[in-house]
């Protein structure tokens, strides 16, 4: 069976490249469906949105640096905090995690692309169009200004007559399509495209986290789509969902929004924790402690997160029984979070830790997540929440969780995986400077906000009078936020410089254990000429040399070997143990996804400007795209 011959690089590399490469130039740009190109696009686009949203935060901090400042008008301030929050949640955090998933997940499970490559491209185009649509509000001078959760009745047509909130509502409903489609893709890819032998208990923890992420998206996003969608029906067509005098309910909006909104926090946190569970073991040079416990914790967080949404509505006057229930469930979530935390500590405790930049970011994450988690437990306690709600304490808490506990892992992931993506190492010294600047800046910026909250400073105020004792702390916050921004800038510079001048990255620069490190850096278009055969949770640690499959003689196993790479196919596996089932043909590059997405974008614009012609044209283009798609289904 197994021969001991060491495989030469690739038998006919030119030929394989020809089979897999995209069309050159602009047509190729629009028609690519390669998960790596799409993943990179996701990540780069997200970082542009991150930079824009970050600059908005800095401008807001300039306004708040001293009392009675006039950098911003009240209206401009409202627009900035709304667009900042919406950008960071919908256009940076969520899609950047999907982007890393797009790039990494197929390689981690040892396959050549996602289960639905065209859908994958479609999801990117929707995300891009939704982002551009949202930001075009600045061009017409009416950026959304109702806060990132856009509560009614403030956001009704009566109180917000302009187009501002329509950009928000339509944009949020639109970008939800992208997130949902991506989640469908991740789930089916994970269940059906794993390398042979990769049973569920050998799944890399990051893949587990993306699986939980995707299931949460599937069941949570419909709720925010409804919240934003019904709000838009109210605003555009005059329905009465959230109009109390016509029998509607403003509380209904809050329920719909937070039924997504709270799972969303874990939708962001779970993949970030998954990244940490990959990085800490590699730099502790030992397997993750308590693998099954950590996986079970991720799943438990997924379930529990759907039972906590009312803790965002503690101050709305609900029955005491409901409040107690949701407070208790909110406290419960500390348990699976704590299990993961101790697993990370135990991994390091028994390991030999190497302090690379990626590891520093992971350690920084542990500290800020600890603080964010503790304040989370505090606001889950009813009497405390009634005091702290809508104060800067909440601003501090949510930034420790959503900025600290998500952005730090994303930066750790950048230092860890960018060498695989670009084939170039990042500069470690600049990375360390960037980390310490970000870490100190972060705590300087967000820790004093807790105290400001206790001092009574409400969130979303565009200025404050002198004599309230808030000036000194606000100045510290502003200085800290600029330091944090500088730290981020250093990493962005690091990434750009390394792209051109970084040291060449070997296949596996960190001595890591999972399959994405088994292929070259950057990987070839087909990822694996022959698919690895997995017999361990840590294939690159336990299986040296790494067994790869040859092409079997039948349909079920043909795609595993080089024949699969030459025929533009990838294997389908099934069951818990990922046994071979059949062969999937990977579709050729096509502009179908971008056409379909553009049709939907035109439809959304038609709704915005209430132009029947535009809406019908967009809908027609979209339906045509759908029909074309069904026509092109390969029928295999």
Partner 1 sequence: MTATSPPTVQTVIVAPPPARSRGRSVGWWGMVVVIATEGTIFLGLLSTYFFLRASSPRWPPAGVELPELQLISVFTVVLLASSIPIFWAEAGIAAGRQGTLRAGLLLSFVMGAAFLGHQIYEYTQLSFRWTDNAYSSIFWTTTGLHGLHVLGGLLISLVIQVKAWSGKLSAERHVSMEVFSLYWHFVDAVWIFVFASLYLSVHLR
CA 227 to chain CA centroid, Å, is 21
Task: Work out the angle at residue 214's Cα, subtended by the Cα atoms of residues 212 and 217, and round it to the nearest 5 degrees.
Answer: 110
* DSSP secondary structure letter of residue 237: I
Give the distance from CA 97 to its chain's centroid.
3
* 3 state DSSP class of 469: coil
- DSSP code of residue 307: G
* Residue numbers 323-362 binding partner 1 by CB under 8 A: 354, 356
Binding to partner 1 by residue 238, rule CB under 8 A? yes
Beta carbon of residue 256, minimum distance to partner 1 (angstroms, whole number): 7
Q: Which residue has the tokens 């045509």?
A: 624
Rg (CA), the chain: 25
Min. distance of Cβ 11 from partner 1 in angstroms?
12
Q: How far apart are CA 583 and CA 24, in angstroms?
A: 28
For partner 1, the closer of residues 197 and 376 by Cβ is 197
3-state secondary structure at position 539 = helix
Per CB under 8 A, 321 contacts partner 1: no
Minimum distance from residue 567 beta carbon to partner 1 (Å): 15
Contact track, partner 1, 2-31, x by CB under 8 A: xxxxxx------------------------
Helix (H, G, I), strand (E, B) or coil at 355: coil
State in angstroms the smallest separation of the CB of 530 from partner 1. 7
Each residue 270-309 as x (binds partner 1 by CB under 8 A) or -, in order, gives ----------------------------------------
Burial of 51 (C-beta count, 10 Å sphere; 0-12/13-18/19+)? middle
The contact mask relative to partner 1 for 410-439 (x = CB under 8 A, - = no) is ---------------x--x-----------
Establish how many alpha carbons lie within 13 A of residue 512's alpha carbon, considering only the half-sphere containing its beta carbon: 24
Among 23, 471, 550, 567, binds partner 1 (CB under 8 A): 550
The binder of partner 1 chosen from 46, 104, 115, 272 (CB under 8 A): 115
The C-alpha atoms of residue 92 and residue 491 are separated, in whole angstroms, by 16
d(CA 595, CA 598): 5
Among 56, 109, 187, 592, binds partner 1 (CB under 8 A): 187
Among 230, 313, 495, 565, binds partner 1 (CB under 8 A): 230
Contacts to partner 1 from residues 595-624, by CB under 8 A? 623
SS (H, E, C) 105-160: HHHHCCCCCCCCHHHHHHHHHHHHHHHHHHHHHHHCCCCCCCCCCCCCCCCCCCCC
Pick from 55, 240, 374, 609: which binds partner 1 (CB under 8 A)? 240
Least spacing, CB of residue 153 vs partner 1, in Å: 14
- CA-nearest of 48, 47, 23 to 34 is 23
Among 256, 329, 333, 595, binds partner 1 (CB under 8 A): 256
Q: Which of residues 29-68 bind partner 1 (CB under 8 A)?
A: none
Rounded to a whole number of angstroms, the minimum distance from the CB of residue 198 to partner 1 is 11
Torsion over CA of 389, 393, 396 and 402, rounded to 10 degrees? -20
CB 620 → partner 1: shortest distance, Å?
11
Q: Give least dist CB 480 to partner 1, A.
A: 29
- Asked whether position 567 contacts partner 1 by CB under 8 A, the answer is no
Residue 109 binds partner 1 (CB under 8 A): no
What DSSP element (H or E) covers 489? helix 471-501
**From CA 353, how far away is CA 50, in angstroms rounded?**
31
Nearer to partner 1, 145 or 234 (CB): 234
Restricting to residues 377-406, which ones interact with partner 1 according to CB under 8 A?
none
Contacts with partner 1 by CB under 8 A: the residue count is 93
Residue 197 contacts partner 1 per CB under 8 A: yes
Q: Under the phi-then-psi rule, with left for phi > 0, alpha for psi from -120 to 50, and beta for the rest, what region is 418? A: alpha
Q: Which of residues 486-545 bind partner 1 (CB under 8 A)?
A: 506-511, 517-520, 530, 532-533, 540, 544-545
Closest listed residue to residue 443, CA positions, set 404, 487, 401, 470? 404
Taking alpha carbons only, the member of 479, 473, 498 closest to residue 415 is 498
Residue closer to partner 1 (CB basis): 223 or 474: 223
Query: Contacting partner 1 (CB under 8 A), which of 173, 276, 584, 601?
Result: 584
The piece of 134-142, 388-396, 573-581, 605-613 that touches partner 1 (CB under 8 A) is: 573-581
- Considering the complex, what minimum distance in angstroms separates the CB of residue 335 from partner 1? 26
């Amino acid at each position: 069976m197994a021969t001991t011959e060491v495989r030469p690089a690739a038998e006919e590399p030119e030929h394989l490249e020809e089979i897999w490469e995209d069309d050159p130039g602009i047509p190729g740009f629009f028609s690519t469906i390669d998960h790596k190109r799409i993943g990179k696009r996701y990540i780069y686009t997200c970082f542009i949105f991150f930079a824009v949203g970050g600059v908005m935060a800095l401008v807001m901090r300039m306004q708040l640096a001293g009392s009675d400042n006039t950098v911003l008008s009240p209206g401009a301030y409202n627009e900035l905090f709304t667009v900042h929050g919406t950008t960071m949640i919908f256009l940076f955090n969520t899609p950047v995690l999907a982007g890393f998933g797009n790039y990494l997940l197929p390689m981690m499970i040892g396959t050549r692309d996602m289960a639905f490559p065209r859908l994958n491209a479609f999801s990117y185009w929707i995300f891009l169009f939704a982002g551009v649509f949202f930001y075009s509000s600045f061009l017409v001078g009416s950026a959304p200004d109702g806060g990132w959760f856009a509560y009614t009745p403030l956001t009704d047509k009566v109180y917000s007559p302009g187009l501002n909130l329509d950009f928000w509502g339509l944009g949020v409903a639109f970008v939800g399509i992208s997130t949902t489609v991506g989640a469908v893709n991740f789930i089916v890819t994970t269940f059906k495209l794993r390398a042979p032998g990769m049973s569920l208990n050998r799944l890399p923890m990051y893949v587990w986290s993306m699986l939980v992420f995707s299931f949460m998206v599937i069941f949570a996003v419909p709720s925010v789509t409804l919240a934003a969608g019904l709000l838009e029906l109210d605003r555009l067509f005059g329905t009465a969902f959230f109009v109390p005098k016509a029998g509607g309910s403003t509380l209904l909006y809050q329920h719909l929004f937070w039924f997504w909104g709270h799972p969303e926090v874990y939708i962001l946190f779970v993949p970030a924790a998954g990244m940490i569970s990959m990085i800490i073991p590699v730099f502790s040079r030992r397997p993750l402690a308590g693998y099954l416990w950590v996986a079970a914790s991720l799943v438990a967080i997924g379930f529990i997160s759907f039972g906590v949404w009312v803790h965002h509505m503690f101050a709305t006057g609900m029955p005491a029984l409901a409040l107690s229930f949701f407070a208790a469930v909110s406290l419960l979530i500390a348990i699976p979070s704590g299990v993961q935390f101790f697993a990370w500590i135990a991994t390091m405790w028994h390991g030999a830790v190497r302090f690379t930049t990626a590891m520093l970011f992971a350690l920084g994450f542990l500290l800020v997540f600890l603080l964010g988690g503790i304040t989370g437990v505090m606001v889950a306690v009813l009497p405390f929440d009634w005091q702290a709600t809508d104060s800067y304490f909440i601003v501090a808490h949510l930034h420790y969780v959503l900025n600290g506990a998500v952005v730090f892992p994303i930066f750790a992931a950048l230092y860890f995986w960018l060498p695989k993506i670009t084939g170039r190492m990042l500069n470690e010294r600049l990375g360390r400077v960037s980390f310490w600047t970000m870490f100190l800046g972060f705590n300087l910026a967000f820790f004093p906000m807790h105290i400001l909250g206790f001092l009574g400073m409400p969130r979303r105020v565009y200025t404050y009078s002198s004599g309230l004792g808030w000036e000194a702390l606000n100045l510290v916050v502003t200085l800290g936020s600029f330091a944090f921004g500088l730290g981020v800038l250093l990493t962005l510079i690091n990434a750009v410089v390394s792209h051109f001048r970084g040291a060449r990255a070997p296949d596996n620069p960190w001595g890591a254990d999972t399959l994405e490190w088994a292929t070259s850096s950057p990987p070839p278009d087909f990822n694996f000429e022959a698919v690895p055969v997995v017999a361990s949770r840590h294939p690159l640690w336990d299986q040296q040399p790494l067994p790869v499959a040859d092409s079997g003689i039948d349909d079920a196993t043909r795609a595993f070997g080089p024949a699969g790479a030459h025929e533009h196919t990838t294997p389908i596996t099934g069951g818990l143990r990922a046994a071979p089932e059949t062969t999937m043909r990977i579709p050729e590059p096509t502009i179908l996804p971008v056409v379909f997405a553009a049709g939907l974008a035109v439809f959304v614009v038609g709704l915005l400007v209430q132009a029947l012609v535009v809406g019908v044209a967009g809908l027609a283009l979209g339906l045509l795209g759908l029909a074309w798609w069904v026509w092109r289904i390969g029928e295999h």
